[in-house]
Structure 1
């Protein structure tokens, strides 16, 4: 009797033929031999050129499920050399000692074949008789191919000729029953799918997300196996060949399919990666159901151990500065930023593995046209920069340097990094919105983002949603008008930009501490902007031009505070170059005030006095002087006071007068009287209504505090909250004099004054300082008269009260003298003419005298003449001041 051998069944070719695999060899795959069962025959399986014989697939399946992957005993009986390949016949015995041929005949899947004896004749005839008896039993029981209930055929396609994408869409995500029929290499299989409708389809399947080394093909003698290719193929064959599995279709590659194979023992792709038989590939890894993390982790294990395909792998060394926290201070382009580390070092970083959306056709940079400084930009670069600006600027981000890009082709060297705010990868968000694309690195290029798979997934989402650069729509066109191109253009914008109290803006560029360039999103315009009320030191425009002291410091301060930040602005006017003048607020703080507090700017008196933030500006500069900050480092207060006193003495005979170039009409009410020709007025405008709200809020503030803030010890010049004696209400006041516990205050919104104890004084919070003082000191133009308590002074005051008290008047501003308004007043119930002015009424009643020596008299001769005629009338009638003489002489006491 022939000797008994042992082997593992590699695969089953048909119901009566198997391939046996011997023990592994050190230098290659184990030996194999084809063995057909003696004395039996199974129906022939079909192929692309012919159909199956009835019950051929069922016969094959019986034997596959019985034997594949199991160790068996076999006895070779004889070999036929006339066939190609040479066919060997024999007997196979299972691990339980059963004859496989007998089992197949008994279950009706094999027919008995009356073959000639190749050994002992009696033993051969006995074997055939036993097989015929088993066949008769199966036929009688209608088992297997003897069944009359089915025809034994299957609906199968051996090639795939349909629409691969449609097939994928139909079955994507559904676990399909399958059998791995052939292993081309460790990551490429021929698979038989059993579809839900019980039809069958052969496909070529590439494992999603991985690629194994290629193996030599039998039909291509010139091909060679790559290192570890055959070993990887054997690794898969021992686990999956002809095993029943589940297949998830996840993509297509031409007429082939990309998918994952699920086996009860695990995912073969992860197993291949972990053992170094394959590498991850970027083009399909994003298709993996459940994400690519598990595949990358498996690959990392093999890299760390330098297994097989990673035997020469050298991991990148981490440097001390490869991971750090930094504040993002500027967005350069749609993929490049500037970050400032905690040590103050600025680093230019490119987002790793992404590149900004390409610029569209027709884009022009600022200043790109010789005729206009307007901006036109086509494409998604503007949106990308704006997204990064809103997401990053001013915030602290976690930076991971992934790789360094050396200088080449005229481009500077760059550090490429992953930037995260919290757990959010900014590059991933940018790509997901279609505002950037992912760089396709070379297969073995490890210089990539450590979140590369997430970037690929984000790009896939953007492509599916046709977002941004993946959209089929026309690219957006961004047009930004330069409102400061010239003075004429800026004046056109000034009218509607002043309508609202505040405008939202973005700081685009900082030229020096007090000159910035802004973008106004609502109006889609760009402008040069100058801070009102201050002057910051200039910065040299070229490296050779010398900067003024503290100019660079002021510039750096504003850049850190404001560059590319969202701000609010109030526009007041324009200058002769087309720049807009006004106030800028960052997080509610006035930038001009901040600069003054740091001693990085000086007060510009004219514009500061015109500003509604006058008190804040002067207060900030006063604090900087007291702290000796910045420009006030060497400030000598006593010397400054001496200079001011000398200047005042020199100007005592020549009062400071600003003549109005154009007569300005204002509506007003008199809020406080000083004498018959001196008083305080409130201009009737929107600020008066704001004052009412402010007073209510101030009262509520102090009521809610319940005295918790305690008395305040003020200094001269401070703006405080004072409790008025007459009605015990709180008002804004300015401290004029302090003597012990007594404080002389001027109520800045009404003009009245009184002396209070410090117990009735409180600190005025900043939110109540934004509205400029509403009471303005004023005098009647072209006249003079006695002060209160002098002869006829009280009479003059009472007459002025009769004419103006409780009335809304119209005033013409003739000049501004030492900060006071020089007014010609009219009662609107009369016509606005020289004869109807209240100034003239006071003179005609003998309560005031004409003062023709005022410096602003030029151009007002007709008005002065009318006043002089009225004065002559009062003299003739001996009214008022003329009752006992002629006080109009130049030596009059007033």
Structure 2
């Protein structure tokens, strides 16, 4: 006070008179050791203080006596309440104790402070206070007066973090302060185990088979996600959600590092993961290591393919969380991957699972010979979705010459009602393929393509001396059978037949149980034991290239019911009347035959969701969807089917199989059938009834001429059934000579169509998976 030039302090507030980040940058460049001298003027709570800059080195920068709020780096303490508010806010537990602890050691002291950065507001600074007796942050954590703050600890150098982790863990074990009710995470399984990676489902989640477990069901696999790591999310085509940048690259890198390899898993915590409306899944999160990589997650983060998860302060984290954060800092500084400032360009992959695209591209793959591929998905033991890197495309691929049993349906197929029943050893076959080829690099040789766009050929697993034919492996293990057609035609490789014979002799897999023919049909009604019945008929409805309804010429029932329904129409008019609409019930339904509306007998097949019903006109074979209020009325009891049986018979061309009507070949078959049969008097050999259908051979002229069945097969628009199916029908229909001769004629016609590449044979053989 006696100085000629008295000391006058000009106080400045951060955010008003100077920018907070300016102080951070100046302290690192100007101050000795990168620390700035400050006086702790006020303590808000255990981790927030009011500081005044007193460092003379900053006087030349105009920042001396700058006042700012300091957030203690790495620590978050309970907040002290404010009694001046209305209503007053109470203090959080241990807030007062934490503030007293800090005031006793820091208040009104001039200390060195390392500034790391600012908060989101850009006003409060984040820094570390260096006390002469040690690190105040570690002392706060050691006594349980605070928790580690994830967002501030990221600003610190990696070497400063381990002491804080050690201090917090010590407080947790002793249940001190804010950890008084802390309990270690409870795990439903072992905290550490070894296993083999079966599948990589996303950039941070894997399916692992623990050592000692036999993979015979999906329940044996453990789903593990990488702890404290967030990978870019894959999109959803059905909802239109796109992939996040680098999602495919992250998943591929994880696949390359882990698939098929033995890994060690340290489980750190578990979480309930939402899996849809009112559904959750308990997921384990852990650290995964291989022989070459100590932490798979750290590799992904260091390459910029993933980021560390931002946890709440009280969340459980990875045991190597600080290493993950350090790796992310390095990747961020290097602008790798997701941290890059350049625009991300997604790699476009051609999807050749579409039948039209597959057929167009099939020739290229067949000419390519041996081709490297990666198995992207396993549908069953012998059918896969492949990614071919050299062609940058996805293809559906089926092993030629073999067939695997049908596995259990997926949850999605079951919910849509499209599930096929599982066959014995279907799941075992699929598990074998998932275990040995899923997401592995394989080698394929394409030999053909089906009408459904499925590439067919051979697949080889392994390299060098370990390279093996996967078809032989499946057959030798009893998990697949050789296509009987290929054996009958002499096209199956001898090594496959020998492998199947050995599996049969050793009763392996499929051969360990009695072999039964699938879909065993009901007993057939035979017209004549000696031979079939010849009749003259007219087609009344065509459903497909081999399915139709017909009337027998001269049938008295047809004349009776036609006349009776005309009288019914004249008597009742065309007005509907209330009637019981029940599935299976026969009623009168109104139909416009082109001349006028008339009543016909109809059976109710189903009720639609729009209040209408679908009916079958039992005397003609056609179907219609009608409104009960305007198109139905009760039928007289004298006109019921118990009095006059249905006139239209449900017929099927015996031994013939055609494509569905939705496909081009199916439409062509139906059109050819219509051109030969519609509106004509035909000769029909009625062999018998099976599953409610009359099995028929149709002739345009006399029965010695080529049949319509044979003409369709010769044009490649129909094919003969499997040999055991043909033999079964022949045996059940009384071993008639006409059926035996027809079977030989159809087989000769089919061989001719196959050699000429007609109709469905234009792309070569039809794999068994594509036949149905």
Q: Does 1:630 align with 2:532?
A: no
Q: Deviations over 1:610-657 (max 9, x none)?
A: 999957545644654564433454899xxxxxxxxxxxxxxxxxxxxx
Q: Answer whether contact 2:397 2:454 (CA < 8 A) is retained.
A: yes
**Count of aligned residue pairs for this structure pair:** 483
Q: Superposition pairs for residues 602-641 of structure 1, below 5 Å?
A: 602-604=481-483, 614=493, 617=496, 620-621=499-500, 623-625=502-504, 627-633=506-512
Which residue does 1:502 correspond to in 2?
Answer: 370
1:793-812 matched pairs, under 5 angstroms: none
1-side partners of 2:372 and 2:25: how far apart? Answer: 48
For residues 431 and 410 of structure 1, do their structure 2 counterparts lie closer, same or farther at Cα, with a shift above 3 Å needed?
Answer: farther
What secondary structure does 1:576 align onto?
coil
Pairing partner for 1:404 from 271, 295, 298: 271
Q: Deviations over 1:509-546 (max 9, x none)?
A: 22222221111123221111122343333446566634
Task: Indicate yes or no: 2:354 matched with 1:479.
Answer: no
| Alpha-carbon distance between aligned partners in 2 of 1:552 and 1:181, rounded to the nearest angstrom | 70
Query: Relative to structure 1, is the Cα distance of residues 406 and 578 closer, same or farther in structure 2, using a 3 angstrom cutoff?
Result: closer
Matched, 1:235 2:104: no
The 2-side partners of 1:477 and 1:390 are apart by 20
Q: Residue 14 of structure 2 contacts residue 123 of structure 2 at CA under 8 Å; is this kept in 1?
A: no
- The one-character-per-residue Cα deviations of 1:753-810 (angstroms, maximum 9, x if unpaired) are xxxxxxxxxxxxxxxxxxxxxxxxxxxxxxxxxxxxxxxxxxxxxxxxxxxxxxxxxx
Equivalent in the alignment of 1:192: 53
Q: Which moved more, 1:433-442 or 1:553-562?
A: 433-442
Give the structure 2 partner of residue 592 of structure 1: 471
Is 1:181 the counterpart of 2:33? The answer is no
> Distance in 2 between the 1:331 and 1:322 partners?
21
Contact 1:186 1:212 in 2 (8 A): yes
Superposition deviation, residue 478 in structure 1? 4.2
Which residue pairs with 1:80 in the alignment? none
User: What are the within-5 Å matches in structure 2 for residues 462-861 of structure 1?
Assistant: 463-486=332-355, 488-539=356-407, 545-587=420-462, 588-604=467-483, 614=493, 617=496, 620-621=499-500, 623-625=502-504, 627-633=506-512
Deviation, 1:420, is 0.9
Q: CA deviation at 1:303?
A: 2.0
Partner secondary structure for residue 292 of structure 1: helix
Which region of structure 1 is more displaced relative to structure 2, 625-634 or 549-558? 625-634
CA contact (8 A) 1:403 1:448 kept: no
Q: Structure 2 vs 1, CA of residues 593 and 261 (structure 1 numbering), >3 Å: closer, same or farther?
A: same
The Cα of 1:267 is off from its aligned counterpart by 1.1
* Pairwise CA distance, 1:207: 1.3
Deviation at 1:175, TM superposition (A): 3.1
In the aligned structure 2, how far is the partner of 1:481 from the partner of 1:317?
Answer: 46
RMSD: 4.2
Change (3 A) 1:511 1:403: closer
Partners of 2:374 and 2:439 within 8 A in 1:
yes
| Aligned equivalent of 1:162 | 18
Answer whether contact 2:373 2:388 (CA < 8 A) is retained: yes
Q: 2:184 aligns with which of 315, 320, 323?
A: 315
Distance 1:341 1:627, change over 3 A: same
- d(CA) in 2 for partners of 1:296, 1:623: 62
CA contact (8 A) 1:183 1:241 kept: yes
Residues 452 and 611 of structure 1: CA distance in aligned 2, closer, same or farther (over 3 Å)? farther
**What are the residue-to-residue correspondences of 1:224-303 with 2, within 5 Å?**
226-253=92-119, 254-289=122-157, 290-303=159-172
**How far, CA to CA, are the matches of 2:26 and 2:488 in structure 1?**
76
> 1:380: Cα distance to partner?
3.5
The aligned counterpart of 2:78 is 213
C-alpha separation between the residues in 2 aligned to 1:238 and 1:277? 14
Residues 274 and 484 of structure 1: CA distance in aligned 2, closer, same or farther (over 3 Å):
closer
Alignment of 1:404-483 (within 5 A): 404-405=271-272, 409-422=277-290, 424-436=294-306, 438-444=308-314, 446-461=315-330, 463-483=332-352
Shift of 1:159: 5.1
Tell me if the contact between 2:224 and 2:286 (Cα under 8 Å) persists in the aligned partners: no
Q: Distance in 2 between matches of 1:393 and 1:458?
A: 23
TM-score, normalising length: structure 2: 0.54
Residues 480 and 411 (structure 1 numbering): CA distance in 2 closer, same or farther, change over 3 Å?
farther
Distance in 2 separating the partners of 1:499 and 1:167:
69
Q: Provide closer, same or farther for how the CA distance between residues 176 and 54 of structure 1 changes in structure 2, counting only shifts above 3 A.
A: farther
Distance across 1 between alignment mates of 2:11 and 2:306: 46
1:581 to partner: Cα distance: 1.9
How much does 1:507 deviate? 1.1
C-alpha displacement at 1:295, in angstroms?
A: 0.9
Could you tell me how far apart the structure 1 residues matched to 2:172 and 2:56 are? 38
* Residue 378 of structure 1, CA deviation: 6.2
- Cα contact 2:460–2:468 (8 A) shared by 1: yes
In structure 1, the residue corresponding to 2:348 is in which secondary structure? strand
Within 2, Cα distance between the matches of 1:430 and 1:608?
50
1:411 deviates by 3.9
TM-score normalised by length of structure 1: 0.47
The 2-side partners of 1:247 and 1:456 are apart by: 23
Q: Look up the match of 1:718.
A: none
1:389 lines up with 2:264 in the alignment: no
SS in 2 for 1:523: coil
List runs of 5+ in structure 2 lacking aligned partners: 215-219, 516-747, 753-772
Question: Which whole-Å deviations, capped at 9, do the CAs of 1:471-510 have from their partners, x for residues lacking one?
Answer: 4444443433232422x53343233324444322121222
Identify the match of residue 347 of structure 1 among 222, 226, 241. 222
Cα separation, partners in 2 of 1:196 and 1:359, compared to 1, 3 Å: farther
User: Per-residue deviation at 1:438?
Assistant: 4.8
Tell me how far 1:274 sits from its aligned partner: 0.6
Relative to structure 1, is the Cα distance of residues 610 and 529 closer, same or farther in structure 2, using a 3 angstrom cutoff? Answer: farther
Does the CA contact (< 8 Å) of 1:534 and 1:604 recur in 2?
yes
Q: Residue 435 of structure 2: SS of its match in structure 1? A: helix
Give the structure, 1 or 2, with the largest relative contact order (CA under 8 Å, sep 6 or more).
2
- Cα displacement string for residues 563-592 of structure 1 (whole angstroms, at most 9, x for unaligned residues): 122222222332333221222222232211
